[in-house]
Structure 1
Amino acid sequence: MPALCRDCFGTGMAEEAPACPACGSRRLARHRELFTLVVAHVDCDAFYASVEKRDRPELAAKPVIVGGGRRGVVAACCYIARTTGVRSAMPMFKALRLCPDAVVIRPEMAKYAAAARQVRALMERLTPLVQPLSIDEAVLDLRGTEALHRAPPAVMLARFARSVEQEVGVTVSIGLAPNRLLAKLAAERDKPRGFAVLGAAEARDWLAPQPVTLLPGIGPALARRLEAAGFATLGQLAALDARDAARRFGEEGPGLAARARGEDARAVTPEREAKSISAETTFDADLREIAALEAPLWRMCEKLARRLREKDLAAGGIVLKLKTAGFALRTRNARLPAPTRLPETLFAAARPLLAKEADGTAFRLIGIGAQPLAPAEDADRGDLADPLAPKRAARWQAVEALRAKYGDAAVALGRGLKPRR
């Protein structure tokens, strides 16, 4: 059976050898299809926490949680913290109850983005077919690259993993498979610092006993619906033909059954079109009055405007997001007369929506998103109804230039200032 040493990248070893004969490493990858598979899923391990530990070596053996205050949520946590039950998106108060000794660090997105760009650059040395899925995750299509690199994709991926560790200071887990779905599932099998291979021949048998929640996209609600219909495992779902699947679960049924068999025809597309861009914040204490809610809404409008500019996009509409003290989610939408990326225009559209919801309810979170998105060149061009839009855009551009040079506190509008205590 083909084998690969993940430390010295040697491939010439006996089938049953427990360690690499060249370097003695036991980190061996073995699989019948090891040197023929070309789709890889790369996932950085506990990315935010790993970057923090890279920059603060004294935290290496300590549980680290990256997140907000006690009312915020866990953005990321290291594997030491995970052993106590802490998970991403968990409320901070619950995480700290499970892991009271954790070192809590506020997120620094600029630092994580810089590390992500380094990882992305290393991916693009392997292949131009890199599709980012999030800041710390991507899928790669390496077909046709063996002649270029004079090595199979598996070997190049092992080299890539070591380059990430040496040049970026974080680790990655890799899944190698014949399609995107199986590559993602493989990457989850051997974390952290993993390298797992899942071939088409074994996929269906491996998937069959797994719970339906293993498939990406099957959340608790759909899982309950499937279980109520008698489908608790992927094998049960995979046994349905397309007609039965459609009859039981509607349009999504045939696709669900195919994925339960490990089938996935999606191509790796380097440019993933953004569907929405948003910004949100969790309050230190619940807010009820509209006057108190407007200041954080304005700050989120500023943040959204900046993100739109960074992505070279504009907002064709806005989505207001509110979360009550009881964790109930409210969203309200409004279309804009013309695309914009000016915070004052975003705020003017969101404020009436907020006024309708500020009925005395206690809110713990507010956010605003841009949806649908529009091309940047269509934004704030001005018309008979709003001829001064270009001047406001120029003024905001000047504000952002000053902030980029002197910091965000260099220019501030009164409506965005936090009240003194």
Structure 2
Amino acid sequence: MPSLCRDCFAHTEEPRRRCAACGSARMSSHAELFTLAIAHVDCDAFFASVAKRDRPELASRPVIVGGGQRGVVSAACYVARTRGVRSAMPMFKALSACPDAVVIKPDFAKYVAASRQVRALMEALTPLVQAMSIDEAVLDLSGTEALHGAPPAVALARFARRVEKEVGVTVSIGLAPNRLLAKIAVERDKPRGLACIGAAEAAALLAPEPVTILPGIGPAFAAKLAGMGFSTLGQLQSLDAREAMRRFGEDGPLLVARARGEDSRPVRPERETKSISAETTFDRDLAQPAEMQPLLWRLCEKLARRLAEKGLAAGGVVLKLKTSRFALRTRHVRLAGPSRVPETLYAAVLPLLMREADGTAFRLIGIGAQPLVEGAKADHGDLADPEAPRRAARWAAMEALRARYGDGAVRAGRGLAGPAGRR
């Protein structure tokens, strides 16, 4: 049974509880440890870890990243998690469960900077890095043993140490023969973990697990499966392809294959951007459009910047509203031509807001670009909208002034009034 010390990187073909070289108990042992090459890397409690990195006095304190009594938890450190705090939990519930928590507002500039550092260290291991989010990615290290002078597991352990030393956060790693199993493995040993799932053991290991362990199976689908008599992966594994298709349609055979731990998806270095959006939660419920319009304008500005950063434009705009009772409303409008100028986005989405402002109290507003199109196609103007290039030029001039003199150098009047909102 091969073993690896995650502290000094000594490795042996024999199982060990402690490292013979340095005495560490942080040993990883698995029959396929030195042959597995697909890794899922997840930064541990990323937002909270960055906050603790920059404020060492919080090292042992429960930390929640979020904002306001009406907001939700963006992230919670492991100390806070032991008290029952979870991501996406309403802030008032989180503070009720952990009243001594230190609440820190999100700082996305810091998160992006740290994420880029981690990504650079990943790409030093292999060019096959597929980012899944700001704090996790999947890597294919097949064929890299000669480059690193060690199996992928050893290279990954060294990588984890470099991340801790150079970025100041920790990572957990799942190692497996495919992406699905690597994702499941990384959840089995956190924080600072290195967990393996091999091909030979996959089906038996997954059989007793609930169906919700599979990525993409949420509460609603799980309830539907339970109603059909499938609550564990083992129950799904028992179906052949024909029966799976009869019960679940064309996606049935794939569902059963995933229940067995089978996954043929390659690691793709570039992942298509499917959506770009921005939203904010109000500090208090709002019903009057005059109060929401300034926040809507600021969201249009934020969306325009995010589109520009990705080299994309909006072919249409989606309005998202959440009522005080958490009911969701979404409305969509197609643009006359692709755009990434706030003025154009705002003019298209404002009528949607006015139609929905029927006296209902709302707690959240958001906008998104849908569909996404190439940025090169944006704001050229035509006979129907000859002013589009001028609007784009005005926006570019404003952004240039902000870049040089700060965000407060120039502002549009419609964004100055209105109540506060968050993210």
Does the pair score TM above 0.5? yes
**1:58-97, aligned counterparts within 5 Å?**
58-97=57-96
| 1:12 and 2:30 are equivalent in the alignment | no
Counterpart of 2:291? 292
Q: Which residue of 1 aligns with 2:148?
A: 149
> Secondary structure at 2:201's aligned position in 1?
helix
Equivalent-residue separation in structure 2 for 1:187 and 1:410 (angstroms): 45
- 2: CA distance, partners of 1:376 / 1:420: 32
Equivalent pair of 1:146/1:153 in contact (CA under 8 Å) = yes
**What CA distance in whole angstroms lies between the structure 1 residues aligned with 2:213 and 2:223?**
13
The answer on whether the counterparts of 1:287 and 1:363 sit within 8 Å (CA) in structure 2 is yes
1:196 alignment partner, SS class: strand
Once the two structures are superposed, residues 2-57 of structure 1 have per-residue CA deviations (whole angstroms, 9 ceiling, x without a partner) of: 11111111113643x32111111111111111111110000000000000000000
Cα RMSD (Å) of the superposition?
1.2
Equivalence for 1:239: 238
In structure 1, distance between residues paired with 2:372 and 2:14: 56
Local SS of the residue matching 1:330: strand
| Letter aligned with residue 348 of structure 2 | A
Contact 2:293 2:418 in 1 (8 A): no
Q: Contact 1:234 / 1:260 at 8 angstroms: preserved in 2?
A: yes
Q: Is the 8 A contact 2:323 2:362 kept in 1?
A: yes
Contact 1:323/1:366, CA 8 A, preserved across alignment? yes
Q: Does 2:343 match 1:339?
A: no
Determine if contact 2:122/2:159 at 8 Å carries over to the other structure. yes
Structure 1 match to 2:361 = 362
Distance 1:105 1:374 in 2: 36
CA distance in 2, matches of 1:409, 1:361: 33
Q: Which residue of 1 aligns with 2:163?
A: 164
Deviations 1:345-395 (A, max 9, x none): 111111111111111100000000011111110000111111221121111
Distance 2:50 2:419 in 1: 34
Separation in structure 2 between the aligned mates of residue 354 and residue 242 of structure 1, nearest angstrom: 48
Aligned partner of residue 302 in structure 1, secondary structure: helix
Assess if the C-alpha contact under 8 Å between 1:13 and 1:21 holds in 2: no
Give the counterpart letter for 1:418 in structure 2: A
User: What residue identity is the alignment partner of 1:285?
Assistant: R
The correspondence of residues 323-334 of structure 1 with structure 2, limited to 5 A, is 323-334=322-333
Deviation at 1:420, TM superposition (A): 7.6
Three-state SS of the structure 2 residue aligned to 1:366 is strand
In the TM superposition, 1:173-322 aligns within 5 A as: 173-322=172-321
Distance (Å, rounded) in 2 between the aligned partners of 1:414 and 1:69:
26
Q: Matches of 1:60 and 1:95 in 2, distance apart? A: 19
Question: 2: CA distance between counterparts of 1:193 and 1:230?
Answer: 37
2:397 paired residue number: 398
Q: 1:142 to 1:79 in 2, by over 3 A?
A: same
* 2:39 corresponding residue in structure 1: 40
Find out whether 1:23 has 2:29 as its counterpart. no
Separation of aligned partners in 2, 1:383 and 1:11: 66
Alignment correspondent of 2:104: 105
Whether the 8 Å contact between 1:44 and 1:136 is mirrored in structure 2 is yes
Residue segments in structure 2 that go unaligned for 5+ positions in a row? none
Q: CA deviation at 1:94?
A: 1.0
Closer, same or farther: CA 420–109 of 1 in aligned 2, 3 Å: closer
CA distance, structure 2, for counterparts of residue 351 and residue 14 of structure 1: 67
State the distance in 2 between where 1:230 and 1:373 align: 40
Q: Does the Cα contact within 8 Å between 1:176 and 1:183 map onto a contact in 2? A: yes
Secondary structure in 2 matching 1:314 = strand
Q: Which runs of 5+ in 1 are unaligned?
A: none
Contact preservation (8 Å) 1:381, 1:390: yes
User: Number of residues paired by the alignment?
Assistant: 420
**After superposition, what is the alpha-carbon deviation per residue over 1:287-342, rounded to whole angstroms, capped at 9, x for unaligned?**
10111111111110000000001111111111111100001111111111111000
Which residue type is aligned with residue 78 of structure 1? C
Partner Cα separation in structure 1 for residue 318 and residue 261 of structure 2: 36
The Cα shift of 1:181 comes to 0.3
The 1:70/1:344 distance shift into structure 2, 3 A limit, reads same
Q: Which amino acid aligns with 1:71?
A: R
Q: What corresponds to 1:386 in structure 2? A: 385
What do residues 85-138 of structure 1 show as CA deviations (whole Å, max 9, x unaligned)?
110011111111111111001101011000000000000000000000000000
**Would the aligned equivalents of 2:295 and 2:418 in 1 still touch at CA under 8 Å?**
no
1:377 matched residue in structure 2: 376
Code of the residue aligned with 1:195 in structure 2: it is L
Measured against aligned partners, the alpha-carbon deviations of 1:247-305 in whole angstroms (never above 9, x if no partner) come to 11222222211111101111100000001100000000001011111111111000000
- Does residue 3 of the first structure (1) align with residue 33 of the second (2)? no
Paired AA for residue 350 in structure 1: V
Q: Distance in 1 between matches of 2:194 and 2:12?
A: 18
Cα distance in structure 1, aligned partners of 2:211 and 2:393: 52
Counterpart CA distance in 2 for 1:356 and 1:143 is 55
Partner letter of residue 327 of structure 1? F
Question: Take 1:31 and 1:220, find their aligned partners in 2: how far apart are those partners?
Answer: 33
SS of equivalent residue, structure 2 residue 61? coil
Structure 1 residues 278, 13: CA separation in 2 closer, same or farther (over 3 Å shift)?
same
